[in-house]
């Protein structure tokens, strides 16, 4: 069974690997074997990391509008790829839970383990980049102080998320909660469901 700290370690590995070249166009080099949940988690965070930097680039007020639209399309695809991977992670966890018989009073969670782990991936990025701000030598003391305060909150949130995710996984394993899967069904990406596309 997955553990949140192991997931976070994979996310950190992905973030460090990306920042060696720090290039939004670099190719993914996934160190984990295909068809493993570790491979999915590394790929998922890599997508998040590239998108993090695309979001920075697109906010440049001097950006060429044509380039901005190209980046927006990349972000759209990235969001769909991210959703697909999260659903695959949930499929892995769901299949591991097939033999668990949930108790009659077992509840459900507001989000699946995969989507909780997705938030942990984004948190790993926030921590990495906030730490980078704390380490800056060209910023004011006030900026560094503010970033240190924010970093402390993010690190506390990390520990809380570790506890929450592991508690959820434990509850699912013990049958105290039951896992239900709802596909995201994003309508704007589907030409048959987006009226701007199907009315063309």
**Two tokens at 30?**
């996934």
Which pLDDT does position 188 carry in this prediction? 74
pTM of the model: 0.92
Give the span between the Cα atoms of 44 and 42, in whole angstroms: 5
- pLDDT, tens digit, 9 for 90 and up, residues 120-158: 999 999 999 999 999 999 999 999 999 999 999 999 999
Coil/strand/helix, residue 187: coil
- Mean of pLDDT values over 60-81: 96
Q: Which residues of 91-107 are buried (b: 16+ CB within 10 A; e: fewer)?
A: ebbbebbeebebeeebe
**Separation of alpha carbons 77 and 86, rounded Å:** 14
- Report residue 150 as tokens: 């924010």
CA distance 69 to 76: 10
- The model's confidence at residue 183, banded by pLDDT at 50, 70 and 90, is confident
* pLDDT tens figures, 25-35: 999 999 999 99
């Amino acid at each position: 069974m997955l553990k949140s700290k192991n997931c976070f370690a994979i996310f950190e590995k992905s973030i460090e690997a990306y920042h060696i070249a720090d290039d939004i166009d670099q190719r993914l080099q996934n160190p984990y074997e295909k068809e493993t949940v570790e491979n999915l988690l590394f790929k998922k965070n890599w997508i998040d990391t590239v998108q993090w930097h695309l979001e920075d680039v697109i906010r440049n007020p001097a950006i060429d509008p044509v380039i901005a639209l190209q980046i927006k399309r990349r972000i759209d695809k990235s969001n769909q790829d991210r959703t697909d991977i999260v659903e695959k992670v949930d499929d892995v966890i769901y299949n591991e839970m097939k033999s668990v018989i949930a108790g009659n009073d077992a509840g459900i969670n507001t989000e699946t383990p995969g989507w909780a782990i997705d938030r942990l991936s984004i948190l790993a990025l926030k921590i990495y980049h906030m730490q980078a701000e704390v380490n800056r030598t060209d910023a004011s003391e006030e900026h560094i102080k503010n970033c240190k305060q924010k970093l402390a909150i993010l690190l506390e949130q990390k520990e809380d998320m570790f506890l929450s995710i592991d508690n959820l996984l434990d509850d699912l394993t013990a049958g105290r909660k039951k896992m239900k899967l709802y596909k995201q069904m994003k309508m704007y990406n589907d030409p048959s469901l987006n009226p701007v596309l199907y009315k063309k």
